[in-house]
């Protein structure tokens, strides 16, 4: 079996996060959506339909014409029931719920042609109608479902040994059987890992510095660092190579992002290569306790989330200055600099330079220089494909006006 991902009409729902990545690269729980499906199906090869600006940036295998391919809607999560349905699909069948195509079983030759055309064509296949399965339909689903996805990812990864890393004799591990510490990870003296209400996953070569408190379910991914005295609450994921301190609750940091100092982030989703200045705080609850409305990225109109708690969604390479305060339900685009003395707007377009009462366009050449400098600190080069993606986002105004 081979595996290919496709995006549907809900793609823009996940902007600005999906301006710089395919939907299957969104992280929820420990793994990205594509990593979850690889664990669930064990495909021989994996590919995806990529938007033009993302080509060359994401790994892809060449699909063989000799094997069938499962085509998977990127928004769907591999629950046991859906995996069974997918495995039971015969060649030429596709699974639908109403107008939504969930998955299809397609021969290798046709699959390769679809990839070359940049678009799947399900019209010639036989329809199998189904009940719906667990999927992402809104931005806030990412943090709402994150805790249960941490639990399910631990099961998917089939971890056999709980403690493989180095744990100080002066660390406290509450309900140790629910704590999974991978090879090369370090838990320093004075840390408290409380897994009494959910598991804690510490990835390979992660470091939990002295005095950090972690309350599961929480995932600290490979090569991440939790700073001294940090407080990491339930349903939080700190992605690979992130550095996080202060107070974090029910949030997702994708990878390579830093929140190295005090300040609160709650009910938020942070992309790659973001940086929070010291004492940056996200509001996640309105003073009148009413549900939070957020701006729609596509048309700037407000959306009713029916969520009492909603913090900030931040696109890749955005940064805040010290003492920045972000309003409840803030949506921030790609490559923004926020240094306002008061609350900035709830909708911040990509490539914005946000000061008090003024928003200016962040020059693309200066933005790329900053990206290159930040990525070089992690020994990652800013290649031409990445620059072109950013220029496309800038030039085509893939952000609200």
Query: What is the pLDDT averaged over residues 98-109?
Result: 96
pLDDT 10s digits, 330-371: 999 999 999 988 889 999 999 999 987 788 999 999 999 999
Query: What is the pLDDT averaged over residues 28-57?
Result: 96
Task: Give the model's pLDDT for residue 399.
Answer: 44
Q: Is pLDDT above 50 for 329? A: yes
Q: Residue 161: pLDDT band by 50, 70, 90 thresholds? A: confident
Q: Rounded mean pLDDT of the chain?
A: 95
pLDDT 10s digits, 308-317: 999 999 999 9
Q: Is pLDDT above 50 for 378? A: yes
Q: Would you give the end-to-end CA distance of the chain in angstroms?
A: 44
Q: How far is CA 281 from CA 102, 147, 321, 342, 356, in A?
A: 38, 22, 11, 12, 17
Domains in the chain and their CATH numbers? 2-136 (3.90.550), 142-395 (2.160.10.10)
Instruction: Indicate the pTM of the whole model.
Output: 0.96
Query: What is the pLDDT averaged over residues 373-394?
Result: 95
Query: What is the pLDDT averaged over residues 36-42?
Result: 97
Residue scoring higher pLDDT (284 or 59): 284
Q: Is pLDDT above 80 for 27? A: yes
Question: Reading across the β-sheet that carries 213-215, which strands appear in turn?
Answer: 172-174, 192-194, 213-215, 231-232, 247-249, 264-266
Query: What is the pLDDT averaged over residues 1-21?
Result: 97
Q: Residue 401: pLDDT band by 50, 70, 90 thresholds? A: very low
Rounded Cα gap, residues 206 and 3, in angstroms = 30
308-347 burial, b at 16+ Cβ within 10 Å, e below that, comes to ebbbbbbbbbbbbbeebbbbbbbbbbbbbbbbbeeebbbb
């Amino acid at each position: 079996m081979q595996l290919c991902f496709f995006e549907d009409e809900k793609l823009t729902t996940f902007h600005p996060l999906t301006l710089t990545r395919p939907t299957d690269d969104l992280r929820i729980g420990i793994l990205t959506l594509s990593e979850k499906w690889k664990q669930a199906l064990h495909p021989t090869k994996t590919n995806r339909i990529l938007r033009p600006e993302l080509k060359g940036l994401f790994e892809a295998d060449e699909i063989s014409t000799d094997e069938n391919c499962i085509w998977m809607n990127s928004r769907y999560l591999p629950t046991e029931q859906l995996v069974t349905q997918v495995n039971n699909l015969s060649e030429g069948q596709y699974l639908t719920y109403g107008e939504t195509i969930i998955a299809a079983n397609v021969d290798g030759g046709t699959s390769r042609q679809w990839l070359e055309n940049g678009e799947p064509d399900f019209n010639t296949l036989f329809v199998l109608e189904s009940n719906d399965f667990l999927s992402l339909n809104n931005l806030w689903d990412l943090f709402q479902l994150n805790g249960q996805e941490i639990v399910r990812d631990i099961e998917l990864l089939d971890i056999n040994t709980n403690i493989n890393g180095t744990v100080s004799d002066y660390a406290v591990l509450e309900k140790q059987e629910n704590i999974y510490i991978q090879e090369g990870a370090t838990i320093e003296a004075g840390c408290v890992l409380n897994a009494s209400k959910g598991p804690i996953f510490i990835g390979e070569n992660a470091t939990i510095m002295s005095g950090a408190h972690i309350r599961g379910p929480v995932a600290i991914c490979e090569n991440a660092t939790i700073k001294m005295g940090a407080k990491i609450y339930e349903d939080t994921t700190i992605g690979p190579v992130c550095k996080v301190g202060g107070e974090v609750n029910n949030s997702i940091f994708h990878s390579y992002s830093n929140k190295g100092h005090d300040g609160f982030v709650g009910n938020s989703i942070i992309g790659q290569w973001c940086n929070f200045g010291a004492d940056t705080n996200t509001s996640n609850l309105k003073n009148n306790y009413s549900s939070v409305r957020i701006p729609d990225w596509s048309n700037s109109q407000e959306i009713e989330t029916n969520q009492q708690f909603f913090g900030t969604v931040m696109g890749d390479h955005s940064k805040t200055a010290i003492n920045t305060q972000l309003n409840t339900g803030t949506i921030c685009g790609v490559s923004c600099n926020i240094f306002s003395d008061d609350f900035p707007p709830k909708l911040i377009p990509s490539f914005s330079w946000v000061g008090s009462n003024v928003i200016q366009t962040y020059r693309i050449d200066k933005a790329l220089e900053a990206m290159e400098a930040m990525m070089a600190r992690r020994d990652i080069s800013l290649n031409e494909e990445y620059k072109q993606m950013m220029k496309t986002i800038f030039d085509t105004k893939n952000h609200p006006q």
